Amino acid sequence: MGIDSQVARFLAEAHQRGCSFQETLTLGRQFLLADRRALQRLARQLGARLTPELTRARFAEPLFRELLGARRVESLDAAPYEGATIVHDLNTPLPHHLHCQFDAVVDGGTLEHIFNLPVALANAMHAVKVGGRLFCVSVANNFLGHGFYQLSPELFYRALTPVYGFRIERMVLVEFSGPSIERASAGHWYEVADPQQVGGRVTLVNRRPALLMVQAEKCADVGPLFKPFPQQSDYTAAWRPGAQPPSGPALGHALARLPLVGPLVVALYDAYRLRATHSLTNRRFYRPVGEDGGAMGQH
């Protein structure tokens, strides 16, 4: 993937809020996929000038330098075929001399392509300076076959925690009209709730491709990471001493046993659940950006 219009906006809003990009590392050399109109809008928003170098750029380094104030932009990849400045396979631990070196580490869609995902994520976390930010843009629903994985909010909320030296500042989900992100139109942005805070799994059943965009601050340098391993929040709640086990079968199971009308009732119940719980209309899970009258409007 690369830095498309949505990701560029996400990074620009972080810059406006005081996040530094002076020393930036991208995971993979990122293509610049944002169109000219989006770049013009961001340049005006940031009080910058849209230069010919930026509008003609194939890769994203000019965006970081000219719009986000980067002095140095490095890129890390497993092979030099796209001109990455650092060649390292993220399946293996990052060399120590690259730890705590960057104000911003930007994953524009690389982690899902790396088999050893926990090591790759830990590498990205290690590379960030204390006080710096990690930005992860990862495929969520309806990207089956795009990479090794489709990732969930739970993964990032449990990995980027103070236990491991991070805190999530923002997580946004955005749907697209088609799988080719650079050509598809984007929908509204939704702030995604922490499953631990809402007391249950933050789910989504939808028809469109969806991306997660995550911003997390590094508060402390912790190592080695993921010791103990992160655990899914609803299980840790169930494992606590004194927690009550489920009292019986779920309502849907009970409805299925109704004579004659059971299948129809279940179908209606499941349709209601899809709409009320597992969709972007669930305001406990997904809050449209700008709904509270904040500075950022809906896209």
Residues 110 and 258 in one domain: no
Looking at the domain assignment, is residue 66 inside a domain?
yes
Looking at the domain assignment, is residue 53 inside a domain?
yes
In angstroms, rounded to a whole number, what is the distance separating the alpha carbons of residues 21 and 105?
9
| Segments in 209-250 forming alpha helices (H) | 233-239
Looking at the domain assignment, is residue 295 inside a domain?
no
CATH number at residue 134: 3.40.50.150
Residue 223: per-residue pLDDT: 83
Question: Strands 166-176, 210-218: parallel, antiparallel or unpaired by DSSP?
Answer: antiparallel
Looking at the domain assignment, is residue 209 inside a domain?
yes
Residue 247: per-residue pLDDT: 53
User: Is there a contact between 196 and 239 (Cβ–Cβ < 8 Å)?
Assistant: no
**Which of 37, 44, 88, 97 is CA-nearest to residue 67?**
44
* Percent of the chain scoring above 90 in pLDDT: 79
In angstroms, rounded to a whole number, what is the distance separating the alpha carbons of residues 64 and 99?
21
Q: Give the DSSP H/E element, type plus range, for residue 137.
A: strand 128-139
Q: Using alpha carbons, list the distances in angstroms from residue 70 to 32, 62, 74.
A: 16, 9, 10
In angstroms, rounded to a whole number, what is the distance separating the alpha carbons of residues 45 and 41?
6
Residue 295: per-residue pLDDT: 36
Residue 274: per-residue pLDDT: 73
Looking at the domain assignment, is residue 69 inside a domain?
yes
Residues 141 and 212 in one domain: yes
Residues 160 and 259 in one domain: no
Residues 205 and 256 in one domain: no
Residues 141 and 196 in one domain: yes
Residue 191: per-residue pLDDT: 98
User: Is there a contact between 124 and 111 (Cβ–Cβ < 8 Å)?
Assistant: yes
Query: In whole angstroms, what separates CA 56 from the centre of its chain?
Result: 27
Residue 31: per-residue pLDDT: 96
Residues 53 and 193 in one domain: yes
Residues 103 and 78 in one domain: yes
Count of domains forming the chain: 2
Residue holding tokens 């002095």? Answer: 71
Residue 199: per-residue pLDDT: 93
List, for residues 20-31, the tens digit of each pLDDT value: 999 999 999 999
Q: What angle do CA 206, 210, 212 make, to 5 degrees?
A: 130
Residue 181: per-residue pLDDT: 76
Amino acid at 180: S
- Sorted by sequence, the CB contacts under 8 Å of residue 156 that are 6+ apart come out as 136, 138, 168, 171, 212, 214, 216
Residues 192 and 271 in one domain: no
What residues in the chain have per-residue pLDDT under 50?
291-299
User: Is there a contact between 76 and 90 (Cβ–Cβ < 8 Å)?
Assistant: yes
Residue 265's domain spans which residues?
A: 251-281
